[in-house]
């Protein structure tokens, strides 16, 4: 089956292809972002993409939750990244003792057979000052639990064994193989 990944982010596309071990069809659409939980945002994007493409497709949405802030930045992390530098993001929780966080990846799959399905994976970790040289979103400020490196300090192969995206895509692959 040919999978259409709706994204304009080539880093996401490369990671998805590496994790799924297949070449994906890619379509870039400007999808509206509703206000809501990571799952609600992802489901709405998948439905919107399907209504345009009229064929099975999937979207991926990533969230970063600072536990001290309950659900924030959450699915709005991209807006936070545009408004603040990576060095400024950890400062948001400077006055809080809790520096723990959750990296969340939701994949929304839409097809003619049923309502969009959302597959979610969560990696717990800690917010740290930026470290690492890779330039992929908030990777430099997220250190997964059990590791001394941020995602940005890891090789792509190392990151792709543990990341929230990897876990979500593995679950997605299992879902498709059922």
pLDDT (0 to 100) of residue 50:
96
Q: What pTM value is reported for the model?
A: 0.92
The pLDDT value recorded for residue 177 is: 86
Q: How many C-beta neighbours within 10 Å does residue 6 have?
A: 23
pLDDT tens readout for residues 56-70: 999 999 999 999 999
pLDDT digits over 111-132, tens only?
998 899 999 999 999 999 999 9
Farthest-apart Cα atoms in the chain, separation: 50
Query: Can the peptide bond before residue 4 be classed as cis, meaning omega within 30 degrees of 0?
Result: no
How does pLDDT run across 122-173, given as a tens digit for each residue?
A: 999 999 999 998 768 899 999 999 999 999 999 988 998 999 999 999 999 9
- Helix (H) / strand (E) element for 10: namely helix 10-20
Range of the domain at 122: 4-177
pLDDT score recorded for residue 168: 97
> How many domains does the chain divide into?
1
What mean pLDDT is reported for the chain?
A: 93
Q: Residue 72 belongs to a domain with what CATH number?
A: 3.90.950.10
């Amino acid at each position: 089956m040919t999978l259409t990944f709706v994204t304009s982010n080539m880093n996401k596309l490369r990671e998805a292809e590496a994790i799924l071990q297949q070449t994906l069809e890619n379509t870039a659409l400007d999808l509206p972002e509703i206000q809501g939980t990571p799952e609600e945002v992802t489901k709405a994007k998948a439905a919107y993409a399907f209504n345009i493409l009229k064929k099975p497709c999937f979207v991926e949405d990533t969230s970063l939750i600072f536990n001290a802030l309950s659900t924030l930045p959450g699915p709005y992390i991209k807006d936070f990244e545009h408004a603040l530098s990576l060095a400024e993001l950890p400062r948001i929780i400077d006055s809080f003792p809790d520096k723990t966080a959750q990296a969340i990846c939701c994949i929304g799959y839409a097809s003619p057979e049923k309502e969009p399905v959302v597959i979610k994976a969560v990696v717990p970790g800690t917010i740290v000052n930026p470290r690492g040289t890779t330039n992929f979103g908030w990777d430099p400020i997220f250190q997964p639990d059990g590791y001394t490196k941020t995602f940005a300090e890891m090789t792509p192969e190392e990151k792709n064994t543990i990341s929230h995206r990897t876990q979500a895509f593995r679950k997605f692959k299992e879902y498709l193989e059922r």
